[in-house]
């Protein structure tokens, strides 16, 4: 499965955009929760803006809990349970941690949709940026990304 291979590779695409200190996520299939949690803490402490404009899956979705995050209506978000090392079994404590990092309305949806009970990506456990904006997420301003050099 392409998503699984990319998730294992920890593929993260960040692009520098205006204003200074802003980053775009254009394709991020997740990875180790602790790494994403640490990056979320760093972003929160720095006050940097984060724009999610493309695919954000798995651990990437915890960025939705940041104060300075925005989403594009066409962005796609994929949710699943955290996994124990080795990936064959769910990690209930890490899954609860992920849930605790989401904003309240997203957390409520994830519980109702059983989005964090599956180990694999499933369309029933996905949301578009437009759906998240209707839940209260901030819509990204229209900016043109530049490559980070």
Tens digit of pLDDT per residue, the chain (149 long)?
444 443 443 434 443 333 334 689 999 999 999 999 999 999 999 999 999 999 999 999 999 999 999 999 999 999 999 999 887 899 999 999 999 999 999 999 999 999 999 998 888 899 999 999 999 999 999 765 543 33
- The pLDDT of residue 120 is 86
Torsion region of 112: left, alpha or beta (phi above 0 gives left; psi -120 to 50 gives alpha): alpha
Cα gap 145→114, rounded to integer Å: 34
Closest CA to 114 of 137, 76, 81: 81
Q: Of all helices (H) and strands (E), which one includes residue 23? A: strand 22-28
- The pLDDT of residue 124 is 87
- The pLDDT of residue 87 is 78
- The pLDDT of residue 143 is 64
Task: Give backbone dihedrals phi and psi of 96, rounded to 5 degrees, phi first.
Answer: -65, -40
């Amino acid at each position: 499965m392409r998503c699984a291979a990319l998730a294992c590779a920890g593929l993260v695409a960040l692009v520098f955009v205006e204003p200074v200190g802003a980053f775009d996520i254009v394709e991020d299939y997740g990875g180790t929760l602790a790494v994403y949690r640490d990056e979320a803490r760093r972003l929160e402490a720095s006050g940097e803006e984060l724009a999610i404009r493309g695919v954000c899956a798995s651990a990437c979705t915890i960025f939705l809990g940041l104060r300075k995050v925005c989403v594009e209506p066409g962005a796609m978000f994929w949710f699943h349970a955290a996994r124990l090392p080795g990936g064959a079994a769910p990690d209930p404590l890490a899954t609860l941690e992920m849930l605790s990092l989401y904003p309240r309305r997203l957390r409520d949806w994830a519980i109702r949709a059983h989005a964090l009970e599956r180990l694999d990506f499933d369309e029933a456990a996905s949301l578009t940026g437009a759906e998240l904006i209707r839940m209260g997420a901030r819509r990204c301003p229209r900016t043109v990304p530049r490559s980070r050099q």
